[in-house]
Amino acid sequence: MTYHARKEMQEDGFAIYDVERSILTGEILERQRDCVTGESKYRIRGETIDGSAVEVLAKISPTGKLVILTVYAI
C-alpha cells in the first residue's frame, strides 16, 4: 500500500478491510497499460463493509505482489 493510498483511506474514513472487501467483491472497470514500463494498472469498483461505493487503483509489482496505488469514495 502506497503512502498516497493510506492518506486517501484515512481522509475518507476507510479501513484496510474496506479496501480488501472492495477488491474481493468488486469488478475491474478498466485496465491501463504504461507505455514505458509495460506495467498494468487496474481500476476496481466495489463496496466497503458498510456498503459504500469505493474505487481502488492497483497494480501487480515486478515481484508479483499487489500494490494499492490509491483509494477513493465515489
pLDDT one-digit tens code per residue, 52-61: 999 999 999 8
The three-state (H, E, C) secondary structure of 10-74, written as one string: HHHCCCHHHHHHHHHHCEEEEEEECCCCCCEEEEEEEECCCCCEEEEEEEECCCCCEEEEEEEEC
Q: Where residue 34 falls among pLDDT bands split at 50, 70, 90? A: confident
C-alpha span between 54 and 10 (Å, rounded): 13
The Cα 74–Cα 63 span in angstroms is: 30
Tens-place pLDDT, residues 15-24: 999 999 999 9
What is the residue extent of each domain of the chain?
A: 3-73
